[in-house]
C-alpha cells in the first residue's frame, strides 16, 4: 500500500496567516491527490482534487500543488472557519490511503 | 442537492453481522462510483471499499477483505455494506462517499453524515 505522510501533524496559527501543509507519498501517485477538511463531529469535505483543482464552492484562499510524491496545501489568509483537521488522500491505486491528518488550531 | 444518508449502524457483539445502507439523492446514482470510508474514535480516515458505477467491480482494504461485501441497487439509489465476523477494531463511524472520477480513479466529492458502528460485548 502507498503510505501518505503529512506534516506537521498539528500546529497553531492566527487568523490572517498563510499556512502550508505538506503530504508525501511513498511512491509516485502522479496527480491523484485530494485534500479534505474535517471539523469535529462532521463529515470530511473535499477541498482540492487532482492535486491542484479547487472543488466547486471552496474559497480561493485554498490552493494545492505538487505531483509525483510531494504535495502541498496552502491557505493564503486564514479565516476562523478554517481551524480544522486536514487530510490528504491518494487515489492513484487501491488500497486508497489517507495521510494521518494535520490539526490546525488557533494560536 | 446531493444527499447521502447512511443508516444501519449500532452496537453488535464480536463475531456478529451488520448491514449498512446509504440512500442517495440529487444525482444520477447509477453513473458514479461509490465508496465507504471509516473513522475509528479519535483516529484518522480509513478507506474501506469502493464499487464501480455498474456494480461490476468492487475493491476492499485488506483488513475487511472476505468479511465485508459492498453492493448497490441502482434502481433504488442505495449503497450497501454487509459486514460479518465483526471485530473490536471495526468500531468506527462509517461514511459513504460519492466518487468523482478520472480514468477510474476517484476522489470523494460528497459524504454522508456517517453512521456509528460499535463492536463490543
pLDDT in tens, B61-78: 999 999 999 999 999 999
Does the beta carbon of B105 lie under 8 angstroms from any beta carbon of chain A? yes
What pLDDT score was predicted for residue A76?
Answer: 94
Beta strands in B13-112 (DSSP E): 18-25, 34-39, 45-51, 58-60, 68-73, 78-83, 92-102, 105-111
- Residues of chain B positioned with their CB less than 8 A from the CB of A38: 45
Q: Does B46 sit within 8 Å of A34, measured CB to CB? A: no
The DSSP symbol for A82 reads G
Where residue A82 falls (left for φ over 0; alpha for ψ -120 to 50; beta otherwise) is alpha
Please provide the size of chain A in residues: 107
Asked whether the predicted pLDDT for residue A62 surpasses 90, the reply is yes
**Closest Cβ–Cβ partner in B61, B95, B106 for A91:** B106
What pLDDT score was predicted for residue B99?
Answer: 96
Cα–Cα distance list, B41 to B30, B91, B93, B95 (Å): 32, 8, 8, 13
Does the beta carbon of B47 lie under 8 angstroms from any beta carbon of chain A? yes
What pLDDT score was predicted for residue B104?
Answer: 83
In three-state secondary structure terms, A58 is coil
pLDDT single digits (tens) A20-40: 999 999 999 999 999 999 999
Alpha-carbon span A72 to A14, nearest angstrom = 19
pLDDT single digits (tens) B89-111: 999 999 999 999 988 899 999 99
What pLDDT score was predicted for residue A104?
Answer: 97
What pLDDT score was predicted for residue B103?
Answer: 83
Residue written as grid cell 449502524: B9
What pLDDT score was predicted for residue A65?
Answer: 98
Q: Does B108 sit within 8 Å of A34, measured CB to CB? A: yes
* Cross-strand bridge partners of residue A3: none
What pLDDT score was predicted for residue B54?
Answer: 87
The DSSP symbol for B17 reads -
Q: What is the mean pLDDT of residues A47-74?
A: 98
Q: Does B102 sit within 8 Å of A101, measured CB to CB? A: no
What pLDDT score was predicted for residue A4?
Answer: 98
Q: What angle do CA A42, B58, B16 make, to 5 degrees?
A: 65
Alpha-carbon span A9 to B101, nearest angstrom = 28
Please provide the size of chain B in residues: 121
Name residues whose C-beta falls within 8 Å of residue B28's C-beta, 6 or more positions apart in sequence: none
Task: Provide the CB-side half-sphere exposure for A51 (13 A, CA).
Answer: 17
Alpha-carbon span A73 to A64, nearest angstrom = 5
pLDDT single digits (tens) B10-61: 999 999 999 999 999 999 999 999 999 999 999 999 999 999 998 889 999 9
Q: What is the mean pLDDT of residues A36-58?
A: 98
What pLDDT score was predicted for residue A12?
Answer: 96
What pLDDT score was predicted for residue B55?
Answer: 84
- Is the CB of residue B37 less than 8 Å from the CB of residue B48? yes
Does the beta carbon of B58 lie under 8 angstroms from any beta carbon of chain A? no
- Residues of chain B positioned with their CB less than 8 A from the CB of A49: 100, 107, 109
- Is the CB of residue B9 less than 8 Å from the CB of residue B115? yes
Task: Provide the CB-side half-sphere exposure for B106 (13 A, CA).
Answer: 23
Minimum distance, in Å, between the CA of residue A100 and any CA atom of chain B: 6
What pLDDT score was predicted for residue B21?
Answer: 98
Amino acid at each position: 500500500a502507498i503510505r501518505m505522510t503529512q506534516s506537521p501533524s498539528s500546529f497553531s496559527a492566527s487568523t490572517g496567516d498563510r499556512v502550508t501543509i505538506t503530504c508525501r507519498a511513498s511512491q509516485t501517485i502522479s496527480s491523484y491527490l485530494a485534500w479534505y477538511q474535517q471539523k469535529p463531529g462532521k463529515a470530511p469535505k473535499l477541498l482540492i482534487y487532482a492535486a491542484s483543482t479547487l472543488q466547486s464552492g471552496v474559497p480561493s484562499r485554498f490552493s494545492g500543488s505538487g505531483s509525483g510524491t510531494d504535495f502541498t496545501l496552502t491557505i493564503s489568509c486564514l479565516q476562523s472557519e478554517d481551524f480544522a483537521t486536514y487530510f490528504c488522500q491518494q487515489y492513484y491505486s487501491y488500497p486508497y490511503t489517507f495521510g494521518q491528518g494535520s490539526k490546525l488550531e488557533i494560536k | 442537492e446531493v444527499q447521502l444518508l447512511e443508516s444501519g449502524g449500532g452496537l453488535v457483539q464480536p463475531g456478529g453481522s451488520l448491514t449498512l445502507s446509504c440512500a442517495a439523492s440529487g444525482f444520477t446514482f447509477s453513473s458514479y462510483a461509490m465508496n465507504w470510508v471509516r473513522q475509528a474514535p479519535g483516529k484518522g480516515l480509513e478507506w474501506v471499499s469502493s464499487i464501480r458505477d455498474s456494480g461490476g467491480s468492487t475493491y476492499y482494504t485488506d483488513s475487511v477483505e472476505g468479511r465485508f461485501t459492498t453492493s448497490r441497487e441502482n434502481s433504488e439509489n442505495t449503497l450497501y455494506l454487509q459486514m460479518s465476523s465483526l471485530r473490536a477494531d471495526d468500531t468506527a463511524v462509517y461514511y459513504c462517499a460519492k466518487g468523482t472520477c478520472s480514468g477510474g480513479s476517484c476522489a470523494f466529492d460528497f459524504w454522508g453524515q456517517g453512521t456509528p458502528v460499535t463492536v463490543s460485548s
